[in-house]
Structure 1
Amino acid sequence: MEIEAKVRPKNLSKLRSSLKSAGAVFKGRGLEKNWLFDHPEQALAATDKLLRLREDIRVSLTFKGPRQNSQFKKREEIEIEFPDTSSARSLLEAVGFIHWFYYEKFRETWKLGSATIVVDELPQLGVFVEVEAETDAEVEAVVRKLKLPRKYISSTYVELLVESAKQTQKYTGAFRFPPEYESVLGFTDADSK
C-alpha cells in the first residue's frame, strides 16, 4: 500500500535546509521518463487504476489501484523490474495495452528514517514534494518536521498535467523538458542511469 502526501513547497531552499537539519540523507537526483499504458477503451483510467512504465536508474512497471478515501493518497501498488524499456513495452503491447501518455520529471530523493521524500519538477507544473511512509502517522510527522504546507494535493501528476494542458492549450502528446533544460539544471543522462 502506497501512502503519500503531495504538496507544493513554499520555498525550495528552505525545504532542503529543513531536510538536512532533520537528518535526511540525500539519495540522488535524475530524470524520470514515464509511459502510461491502458486498454484501448481506457478501462484502467475509467476505474482510477494506472499502469506505468518508468525509466530512471532502473526500469520498472507499476500497477496502482484505485485511490482510497483518505487525507493522504493511498492506493495499492505492485511493482516489478524489467531489464530494459523496450522489452517491457513489447510485452505490454503484445498483450493488448496501448501507450496513451508520456511525461518526464526531474526527481530528487531523500530518506528520513523509513520515510522517502521526493522533490519533483515537471514541465508546465513546477515543483512538488511527496512524502511517502508506511503509516498516516509517519507521513504526518515528516510533514510537520519539515514544516511543509498541510494543503495536500490528491490529484496525480497526469491529472495535473492534463488540466494544465486544457488551460494553456499546449498539449502535444507528451510532457517533456527541452534538451537544454537538463544541462541548465545540472542533470545529465548519467544521473538517470
Structure 2
Amino acid sequence: MALECELKYLNVDFKKLRNALRELGAESSGPYFETNLVFDTRERSLRESNILLRLRQKRSDVLLTVKRPPEVIIDSMLKVVEELETTVDDFDSMLAILDTLGFFISFSYEKVREKWRFMRCAICLDELPFGSFVEIEGEEHDIFQVSKLLGIQDSKTSKQTYHALNVAYRKQNGLADEESFVFTKEQKEAIDKQIGKD
C-alpha cells in the first residue's frame, strides 16, 4: 500500500487562498460534489482496527478505498496512513458486492471539494456541512513549504479525520450524536446552482 501524508488547515479564508494559488500558478480541477459511504462489519471490527473502507462517488468517477495505519509507526506532524484505492465501473454493483460480503454502511458524508495542484502537493478546499477546511497532501517538507507560500502556515492544523472532526463539532455544540454528516436538501440545491450538476 502507498503512504498518504496530509494535514488539515482550519479557519482559512478561501477567497484569499484561491487568489494566492492563482498567483503562484497552481492548477485547479474546479469544484465538485462528493458522496462517501463508509462500511464496516456489524461488530464494527474495521473501526476497532482503525481501518477505513469507503466507496466514493465524484462526478462520473467511483472509487473504492481502504486506509489503515502504517505497519511501521512513523513519527510525523502529518496524518500518515497506508492507502489502497481503485476505480470501480458501477457504484450500485459495488454496493451490492459489499453488502453480499457482510459489510454495512456505518456512516455517510458529503462534501464539496475544489482540488488544486502545486509543487508536488494536492491542495483541497473542502466545504462540509459543519465547516470549511483546507487539506494539503504530499511529502512533509513540501506541505510545510506550500503552506508558507500560501500564507496559511500560522493557521490551526489538525491530523484528525473529517469523521472525528464532525464528532467533536457536534459535542462542542451540544448536538445529538450522529456519525453521518450530509447537506440538507436546501444546501444541496444551493450547491447545484453554485457548481452545476456533473
Asked if Structure 1 and Structure 2 have the same fold, meaning a TM-score greater than 0.5 normalized by the shorter chain, the answer is yes
| Residue matched to 1:6 | 8
2:146 alignment partner AA: V
Which residue of 84, 87, 104 maps to 1:78? Answer: 84
Deviation at 1:183, TM superposition (A): 4.0
Alignment of structure 1 residues 1-193 onto 2, 5 Å? 1-57=3-59, 58-66=61-69, 68-124=74-130, 126-133=131-138, 135-150=139-154, 151-167=156-172, 168-171=174-177, 174-185=180-191, 186-190=194-198
Aligned residues: 188
d(CA) in 2 for partners of 1:55 and 1:82?
10
Contact 1:9-1:148 within 8 A present in 2 as well: no
Name the SS for the 1:76 alignment partner. strand
1:53 alignment partner AA: L
Contact 2:28-2:117 within 8 A present in 1 as well: yes
Contact 1:71-1:152 within 8 A present in 2 as well: no
Name the SS for the 2:158 alignment partner. coil
Name the SS for the 2:181 alignment partner. coil
Deviation at 1:155, TM superposition (A): 1.0
Name the SS for the 1:103 alignment partner. strand
* Cα displacement string for residues 58-88 of structure 1 (whole angstroms, at most 9, x for unaligned residues): 1001001126542011110000111122111
Deviation at 1:102, TM superposition (A): 0.5
d(CA) in 2 for partners of 1:184 and 1:97?
33
Deviation at 1:170, TM superposition (A): 4.2
RMSD of aligned residue pairs (Cα, Å)? 1.8
What residue ranges of structure 1 are gaps of 5+ in the alignment?
A: none
d(CA) in 2 for partners of 1:101 and 1:178?
16
Percent identical pairs in the alignment equals 35
Q: Flag as ranges the 4+ runs of structure 1 deviating above 6 A.
A: none
